[in-house]
């Protein structure tokens, strides 16, 4: 049987943001906070010993960056992009591709950012 393997690892952080440029009175234009969940999905055609896409322990730099850069921060000040979930997902994917992925056997497929339990945005990388 042929196919690909996929794994996902979720991280949580608390942060505030506001979204400029929205109509007056829009709830997201005001400063507010979320309990964010971010999920990184990786894929591989083959497993590495002992049978991993990537060892979850090798994703520790992601947790370290989230804790030091995003957790309990105002995302408008912490990020170089307007902090919509879509932009945060794309920024995290770029950071991961530059700082973490080169040392891993797995390849990043997508990053999903949830502001609430019922809403999320996802950045999906092109087939590579």
Q: Where are the domains of the chain?
A: 5-124
- Judge whether residue 46 has pLDDT over 80: yes
Judged on CB neighbours under 10 Å (0-12, 13-18, 19+), 72 is exposed
What CATH number matches the domain at 5-124, 3.30.1330.40, 3.40.50.620, 3.30.70.100, 3.30.479.10? Answer: 3.30.479.10
pTM higher than the cut 0.85:
yes
- Under the banding of pLDDT at 50, 70 and 90, the label for residue 10 is very high
Contact 85, 120 (CB under 8 A): yes
CB atoms within 10 A of CB 80: 6
Residue whose structure tokens are 């949580």: 12
**What is the C-alpha to C-alpha distance for residues 127 and 109, in angstroms, rounded to an integer?**
8
User: pLDDT at position 128, please?
Assistant: 57
Instruction: Quote the distance between the C-alpha of residue 33 and its chain's center.
Output: 17
Pick from 84, 83, 96, 85: nearest CA to 125: 96
């Amino acid at each position: 049987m042929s196919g690909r393997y996929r794994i996902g690892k979720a991280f949580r952080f608390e942060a505030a943001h506001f979204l400029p440029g929205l109509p007056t009175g829009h709830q997201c234009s005001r400063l507010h906070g979320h309990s964010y969940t971010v999920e990184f999905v990786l894929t591989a055609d083959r497993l590495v010993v002992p049978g991993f896409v990537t060892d979850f322990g090798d994703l520790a730099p992601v947790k370290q960056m989230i804790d030091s850069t995003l957790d309990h921060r105002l995302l408008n000040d912490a990020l170089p992009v307007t902090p919509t979930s879509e932009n945060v997902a794309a920024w995290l994917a770029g950071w991961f591709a530059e700082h973490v992925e080169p040392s891993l056997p797995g390849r990043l497929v997508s990053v999903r950012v949830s502001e609430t339990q019922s809403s999320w945005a996802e950045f999906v990388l092109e087939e590579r």
